[in-house]
């Protein structure tokens, strides 16, 4: 853990760290973010590991401007109007991912959409410019803790890590960004209340739909969940053996043989590597002509908990696919 004042030298060092897969906590006008290169799945897996989230939520990806944002997502008229009016600022816009975007699957939790934000804070902007990569950054707090609005909050929360923290002083807004979903054809949906008031959004694109529950701010709309990874092939968990018509998602040094296609999450049993590979490998196995995907068991510790959470949900979802019915 190292807290530094942002200047040309420390920002260049932070950018170098990010480009080589390291993590840097940085100030935005809302809260401090725990940043990593959004195009590097290992870096994004390290974010989830440090936050100790028991599941993979999609992360907000920070970019320098609307042109860069449009290279990663498909902006409809409403999304563009909001971006033009309110960026840079405390607004995150969920849009469909653009094919060919270098943002990794894990940053989007395997889903077809991406949340993009252009922050206004000068340190965040300088860091984005120096790094030259989109930065995935959730709030820089361990899962279940309050969002950090000073560098000290971040330092105290991650005392034992080797995180670098850029100290930009207290955050002016101190409340997370508003998250609005413009990824579907219908009206935009407010997923999280935050730094931009709902009235300001209504004024720009007309009335938006409410996707937040009043008391806990969690999305009421099940749409958010269905946007997460839903497997096309049935998943069979804790497989010890595999049949010739199945694809195998392996883990560790000694996978069973005989599968139609095999991808190994981590031959060395490294959970960070496994998390980084999870969604891309599932997508690739789905492209095979196997009848299902057998998945070896993953230790239920550290990032393994988030991996297992995703796999369990995938297996439940696949229980009702036609292929699985008797
Ligand atoms: O102010 C903020 O938004 C801060 C700063 C660092 O930018 N970031 C932040 O990130 O609060 P996080 O990960 O703590 O919250 C991200 C929120 C979550 O509620 C997540 O579900 C939602 O945004 N989100 C991200 N990507 C999404 C997507 N593709 N679809 C729907 N919701 C998404
Ligand atoms: Mg948060």
pLDDT in tens, 85-97: 999 999 999 999 9
Q: Identify the CA nearest to 75 among candidates 181, 176, 179.
A: 181
Q: Please tell me the residue having the least CA distance from ligand 1 atom 19.
A: 192
Cα 40 to ligand 2 centroid, rounded to whole Å: 21
Mean pLDDT, range 191-220, rounded to an integer = 80
Over 80: is that where the pLDDT of 5 sits? yes
151 lines ligand 1 (CB under 6 A): no
- What's the mean per-residue pLDDT of the chain? 91
Q: Which of 128, 134, 139 to mutate to test the pocket of ligand 1 (most atoms within 8 A of CB)?
A: 139
Ranking 99-108, 131-140, 208-217, 263-272 by mean pLDDT, the lowest is 208-217
Q: What is the pLDDT of residue 126?
A: 98
Q: What is the pLDDT of residue 314?
A: 86
Q: What is the pLDDT of residue 324?
A: 33
Beta strands in 65-219 (DSSP E): 73-74, 91-97, 113-117, 135-136, 164-166, 178-181, 189-192, 209-210
CA distances (Å), origin 196, targets 66, 79, 193: 18, 15, 8
Q: What is the pLDDT of residue 213?
A: 53
Q: What is the pLDDT of residue 91?
A: 98
Over 80: is that where the pLDDT of 325 sits? no
Question: What percent of the chain shows pLDDT beyond 90?
Answer: 86
Q: What is the pLDDT of residue 223?
A: 40
What atom of ligand 1 comes closest to residue 113's alpha carbon?
A: 29
Integer-rounded Cα Rg, in Å, for the chain is 20
Q: What is the pLDDT of residue 211?
A: 85
- CA dist., res. 60 & res. 134, Å (int): 10
Q: What is the pLDDT of residue 23?
A: 98
Q: What is the pLDDT of residue 320?
A: 41
Given the candidates 3.65.10.10, 2.20.25.90, 3.90.870.10, 3.40.30.10, the CATH classification of the domain at 2-210 is 3.90.870.10
Q: What is the pLDDT of residue 53?
A: 85
Given the candidates 3.40.50.11030, 3.90.1150.10, 1.20.120.140, 3.40.50.2300, the CATH classification of the domain at 235-315 is 3.40.50.11030
Q: What is the pLDDT of residue 306?
A: 93
Over 80: is that where the pLDDT of 147 sits? yes
Q: What is the pTM of this model?
A: 0.92
Cα 245 to ligand 2 centroid, rounded to whole Å: 42
Q: What is the pLDDT of residue 224?
A: 45
Over 90: is that where the pLDDT of 77 sits? yes
pLDDT, greater one: 45 or 314:
45
What atom of ligand 1 comes closest to residue 34's alpha carbon?
A: 6
Mean pLDDT, range 272-296, rounded to an integer = 95
Over 90: is that where the pLDDT of 317 sits? no
Q: Identify the CA nearest to 133 among candidates 301, 255, 218, 21.
A: 21
Mean pLDDT, range 179-206, rounded to an integer = 95
Over 80: is that where the pLDDT of 6 sits? yes
Q: Where are the domains of the chain?
A: 2-210, 235-315
Where does the pLDDT of residue 216 fall: very low under 50, low under 70, confident under 90, or very high at 90 and above?
very low
CB atoms within 10 A of CB 160: 6
- CA dist., res. 174 & res. 46, Å (int): 25
Three-state DSSP state, 151: helix
249 lines ligand 1 (CB under 6 A): no
Mean pLDDT, range 263-277, rounded to an integer = 97
Mean pLDDT, range 116-140, rounded to an integer = 98
């Amino acid at each position: 853990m190292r807290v530094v004042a942002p200047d040309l030298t420390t920002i260049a060092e932070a950018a170098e760290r990010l480009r080589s897969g390291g993590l840097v906590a940085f100030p935005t006008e809302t809260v401090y973010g725990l940043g990593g290169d959004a195009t590097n799945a290992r870096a994004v897996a390290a974010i989830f590991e440090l936050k100790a989230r028991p599941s993979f939520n999609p992360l907000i990806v920070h970019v320098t401007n609307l042109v860069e944002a449009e290279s990663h997502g498909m902006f409809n008229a409403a999304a563009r109007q909001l971006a033009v009016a309110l960026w840079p600022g405390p607004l995150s816009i969920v849009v469909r991912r653009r094919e060919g975007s270098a943002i990794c699957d894990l940053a989007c939790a395997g889903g077809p959409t991406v949340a993009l934000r252009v922050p206004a804070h000068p340190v965040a902007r300088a860091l984005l410019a120096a790094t030259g990569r989109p930065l995935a950054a959730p709030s820089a707090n361990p899962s279940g803790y309050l969002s950090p609005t000073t560098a000290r909050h971040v330092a105290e929360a991650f005392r034992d890590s080797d995180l670098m923290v850029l100290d930009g002083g207290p955050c002016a807004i101190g409340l997370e960004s508003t998250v609005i979903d413009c990824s579907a054809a219908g009206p935009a949906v407010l997923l999280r209340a935050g730094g931009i008031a709902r009235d300001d959004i209504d004024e720009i694109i007309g009335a938006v739909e409410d996707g937040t529950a009043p008391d806990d701010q969690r999305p009421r709309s099940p749409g958010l969940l269905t946007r997460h990874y839903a497997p096309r092939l049935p998943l069979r968990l804790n497989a010890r053996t595999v049949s010739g018509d199945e694809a195998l998602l392996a883990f560790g040094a000694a996978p069973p043989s005989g599968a139609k296609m095999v991808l190994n999450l981590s031959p060395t049993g490294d959970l960070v590597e496994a998390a980084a590979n999870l969604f891309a490998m599932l997508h690739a196995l789905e492209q095979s002509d196997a009848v299902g995907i057998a998945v070896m068991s993953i230790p239920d510790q550290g990032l393994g908990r988030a991996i297992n959470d995703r796999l369990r949900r995938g297996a439940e979802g696949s229980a009702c696919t036609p292929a699985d019915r008797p």
